[in-house]
Every structure is written in structure tokens, then in C-alpha cells.
Chain A
Amino acid sequence: MSLRALELVCPAGTPASLRAAVDAGADAIYLGFRDETNARNFPGLNFSRDELAEGIAYAGSRGAKVLVAINTYPRAGNPGPWTKAVDDAAALGAWAVILADIGLLDYARQHHPDLRRHLSVQASAANAQAIRFYCDEFGVKRVVLPRVLTVDEIARINDAVEVETEVFAFGGMCVMAEGRCLLSSYATGESPNMNGVCSPAEHVHYEERNGQLVSRLGGFTINKFRDGEPAGYPTLCKGRFRACKRDSYLFEEPVSLDVSNILPSLMDAGVTALKIEGRQRGKAYVAQVVSAFRRAVDAAARGERPDTADLSSITEGGRQSTGAYEKAWR
């Protein structure tokens, strides 16, 4: 029996990663421009207009599509960079733009009615009614679902709304409702919504204290590591904190999301596409994850059980979670 394979939407932070992802079997690549219009606004990452044009040509010649993420919230008083990003993505022939802000969706609908619009996870549309709202008002064709939903809830959404759904499959995991989290700016002044960064590196400091490595973000201690304990990046919600007189990973353990062993249930739930997180990752990582998922997705489409052994070695801290997709996570 052959089912329709899940579309594999893969990250590219650089032209080299784009080529690596395409060569490894990506169906689509998502990327951003080199500024604060996208939610991975990190130094040394992302694409110039010329690089986007070359990337679209490379991907197109191998049957892959390019999606441009313009998924931060335009700044009051200066929407220019965001509207220009939409204009340029349209002019350069991107297959779709991934947007979160209502004002920008409205702009894209009015000025580029034929440009395919996807709703970013940063819009946090977590139920059928919200999704229908974005479809009706802005002609959204695909919704990237928040990582707060269970597989059952995803199935019900797909039953209720005529829209493609894309879910996160692998990589870093937000534990908060995406696009509605100000933790980073509370500590550092910079947020995913306004600056396209979360827990940004220039606000991170490490210090040695009494034989421990202390990681700090802004003025706050996010974690402490004993000698030899692997020290993860101090993303705020993945830190260790003290509550109820106990030190723990209060919000989330430093785990990676990995849905490779529930691909058949995601297909049953009517999901169209899988999204791999990691535009900040290098091309070797991208190639490795994309080829592993290519095999898993194709196996699932043949009705076989996907072999996912090769993914476990590259997850964060070697630990994986299916996150909110299973209700026990809550």
C-alpha cells in the first residue's frame, strides 16, 4: 500500500545548508532574509536577495520549493523592512511566505494576492476556529501548528478545516505558546516577536564559580553545571530554576523534539507537511537530519515502520521527546 508521503520542509540558514538539504531529499526549504524580519535573526545567518534568487534556482532545478519566513512582528513606525521582504519574496519567485502578523498578512493579501501565504507557528493558531479565521480573512493556505497540540487535536483540526497543516518534526522545542512568549525580552530586552531572537548569544555569559560552570542570560543565572556535566546553551525556558524549594528544569528538560516514531499517526491525522527546526545549524547537521527523515517519511508512505536509529545520536543532550503531541507531556 502506498500513501501520500509527508512533505519534508527543511531549514536553511545559509546557501550551503540549502544545497545540503535539497541534495538530501528536502521537498521544500524555508529560510529568512538577513535582518530582523525573521525569527532566526542570528549573526552570520540567512540570505541576501541574490542568495535567495540563487537558492530558488538551485532548489527549483531539483524539484524543491523555497518558502520565505517573514515571521516577526513589524515594528510600529517602521514597517518598511517587513513589507519589502514580502515584495522581494514575491518578485524573486518564492513558492510561499510564512507570516505571523495580522497587518503583514493583510498587506500580502492585498498587494500579492497570488503569493501563497502560510501561517507561521509564531501566530500560535491552536484550534480550528483560529485557523479558519486566518484562512477566511487572509487566504492562508497552510498553517504551521503550534507545538502545544496533541496528535488527536491535530486530527480534529484537519477534519474541521480545509487547510494544509504543517507540524514540527525534529529539533529545538518551544514549551511556551509560540509568538506569545516574552521571557527572553524580560531578561535581555530582545524577543522573538520584536527582534527575531530568543535568549540571544550577546546576552549570554559563562563564569566559573566554586568548581561549577554557571550560565547566565542578561543578569540572571539560567543553569549551573558540575564538572564534566554537559553544559547546554542557556535558552531561558530550558534552564534550571528553584520553585517549591526544589531545583529542577521547571519548564522543560533540555530535550529535542523527535516525531520520527509517530509518523504514521501524523499521516492518519491528516498532516500535510513536516517541519524540521534548525536554521541556526550547520550544513552537516541539516544533511544528516534531512536524509534520515527522507528515509523515514518514504518508509511510512510505503506503510512500513520508519527506522529512526540514526536520529537519536544527534538530538539535544541525546534525549528526545514527542513533546505535547502526547497528552502526558502536559
Chain B
Amino acid sequence: MSNTPKLTLGPLLFNWPVEQVTEFYGRIAKLAPVDTVCLGEVVCPKREPLLGGTLAEAAGTLADAGKEIVWSSYGLIADEKELAATRDLIESFDGLVEANDITALPLLQGRPHAIGPLVNVYNEGTLQWLVRRGAMRICLAPELPREAISRLAESAGGAELEVQVFGRMPLALSARCYHARAHGLHKDGCQYVCDKDPDGMPVDTLDGEHFLAVNGIQTLSHSIVDLSAEIDELLEMGITRFRLSPHKVDMVAIAHVWRDLLDGKRDLPRARRIIEAVAAFAPPSNGYFHGRPGAAVV
């Protein structure tokens, strides 16, 4: 295994029109210096039929461009239909599957797999248990502070640890669809209103301050985590993978900024200028890493 730090493009969390999804991954395949692309609907199983074979086609295009493909499982598996779909996914794909719900773990027994940021890995005991069972890559939850990340990296054995360094942070999942609720609809008759907000629906306080973003059953941060200033520390701890979470912005530009940073071209002010200009729809934050509120900027 090479020690070069790797860039992962996380799964697309939002409900985009099919043609935009195709165009997005086509551009990533051609232009983005990422090593790995996670595909798959993580948030809402109801969206999957809308996509049809789009992601499978994207997988072909991305693989042809030399990208490693990882399939990400649902974040919340509640009923038999969702379980069956997860089983189908795991049986039909030979590559690495990322479990985002504990439910996927027994299905992955006996084959190498990845653990996504929606699975709770807070300590060495859990990490080592998962690694013994075949987890070879673990993307940590956003709320872990530097001390925890560092301890986990020390005890990861041969597994790769990944940290999300760009994008809105996943904060919660629910049985209830807040997109539907905000539009006066029920989850069963949601009319797919989550397609109105390509980066999530703004949730503001009653003072008009931006606070959170709703994406169907998921709640995200309003702010965009940006750990570019923490890159030296993360590398020193032994973090080998860096995750960019897709947004409707120029993700190719974001990927280039991060590739440069990881390749040692550490012009941090320039990097932050580009990140803030490209992802201008929300401010950056890095509080969690520093043991502060996730929304904070340190």
C-alpha cells in the first residue's frame, strides 16, 4: 500500500436530476484528481428509482478514468425493502462497499469493506473490533475532536482512516422527512420536494441566522467543514484519506485545491480563498476538530 494520502469523493447526498448527476460524474472522471469515488443513494431509498442506471453508468465512466469505486449503503435501514436492496447491492458488487448502518455489517462478513461516517466509531475498542471483522477503511464521524482522531489513528492497525475535510456535515437522520414536512406533505406522498434544494434546504433561526440544512430525512450543518488548515496535523496523526462531500459547486476546483495541499503545495491562504469562493453558499467551520461546537470557526 502506498503512503501517498488519498482523496475520496463521498457519496452525493442530494436529489439532483439524472442529467446533472451524469454530467457531474462525467466531469469528475475527466478532471478531478480524486482517487476514490463513493457512489450510491445514502439518504432516501425512495430516490433510487429516479436514478435508474445512472450511477451504474457513472461507475463505468469513473472506473475507466482510473478511479476506485466504492458503493455506499443507506444510512438508515428500517424496513425489509431497504434491507433487501442493501443485500442486493452487496451481492451484486465485487468491490468495496461502505456500510453506513450497522445493518450492513453482517452482510459484509467475510469480505473486506469500508465503514462510513454514519456508523458510530468513537474509540479503539470499536475500531479494532470492526477491523478484526474486515473493515479496511473507516471514515470517522464529524464530531470527533483531534485527540480522539489521533488515538484512533494510533490503533487502526492496517486499516486506513478517513476524515471529511470539505462539505456540509451529516448531523442527524430521522424516520421523518423534514423536506416533506416543511412543504406540508407526508413522507409517503413527498412529491420528491427535496429536489428543490441541490445543497439542502436552508433552516434558519427565528432571527434569520443560517443554522442547519435539511436533506429529506437527513439534517446537515449549514456551515461547510473546512479542515485545510489542519492538514499537517491530520497527516501527522496518520490520517491517509481525505473526504470531499459533493455539493453543487465546482468540485473539480475543490479537488485540485486538496490535491495540491496533499502533494505538499501548501499555499494555505490561496487554498482557503478558493474554497470560500467556490463554496460561497455557506461559511466554513472547523470547531469539532478543536473540541468546540461544530459550527465554530477556530
Chain A: residues with Cβ within 8 Å of the partner, total of: 69
Query: Are A182 and B124 closer than 8 Å at their CB atoms?
Result: no
Chain B: residues with Cβ within 8 Å of the partner, total of: 71
Query: Are B294 and A186 closer than 8 Å at their CB atoms?
Result: yes
Bound: A193/B148 CA distance, A: 13
Interface on B for A, CB 8 Å cutoff? 76-80, 82-83, 101-103, 105-107, 118, 120, 122-130, 141-144, 147-149, 151-152, 169-178, 181-183, 186-188, 201-209, 211-212, 214, 219, 221, 287-288, 291-296
Which residues does chain A contribute within 8 Å of B127, judged by CB atoms?
A: 103
Bound: A187/B169 CA distance, A: 13
Q: Determine how close the nearest CB of chain B comes to the CB of A207; give it in whole angstroms.
A: 11
- Contacts A102-B129, A129-B106, A180-B120 given; indicate if A243 touches B206 (C-beta within 8 A): no
- Majority SS of interface residues in chain B? mixed
Query: Are B174 and A148 closer than 8 Å at their CB atoms?
Result: yes
Which residues does chain B contribute within 8 Å of A175, judged by CB atoms?
A: 174, 176
Write out, one digit per residue, whether chain A residues 228-263 have a CB within 8 A of any chain B CB (1) or not (0): 000000000100111110111011100000000000
Bound: A186/B101 CA distance, A: 21
Query: Are A330 and B203 closer than 8 Å at their CB atoms?
Result: no
Query: Are A77 and B178 closer than 8 Å at their CB atoms?
Result: no
Write out, one digit per residue, whether chain A residues 72-96 have a CB within 8 A of any chain B CB (1) or not (0): 0111110100000000000000000
Which residues does chain A contribute within 8 Å of B76, judged by CB atoms?
A: 126, 148, 177
A220 near B: Cβ within 8 Å?
yes
- Majority SS of interface residues in chain A? mixed
Query: Are A76 and B148 closer than 8 Å at their CB atoms?
Result: yes
Of A77, A179, A252, A330, most B-chain CB atoms within 10 Å: A330
Bound: A252/B219 CA distance, A: 13
Query: Are A330 and B186 closer than 8 Å at their CB atoms?
Result: yes
B202 to chain A: closest residue by CB: A243
Query: Are B206 and A223 closer than 8 Å at their CB atoms?
Result: yes
Which residues does chain B contribute within 8 Å of A73, judged by CB atoms?
A: 120, 122-123, 126
Query: Are B292 and A76 closer than 8 Å at their CB atoms?
Result: no
Query: Are A193 and B120 closer than 8 Å at their CB atoms?
Result: yes
Query: Are A177 and B175 closer than 8 Å at their CB atoms?
Result: yes
Write out, one digit per residue, whether chain A residues 186-216 have a CB within 8 A of any chain B CB (1) or not (0): 1111010110000000000000000000000
Q: Determine how close the nearest CB of chain B comes to the CB of A174; give it in whole angstroms.
A: 9
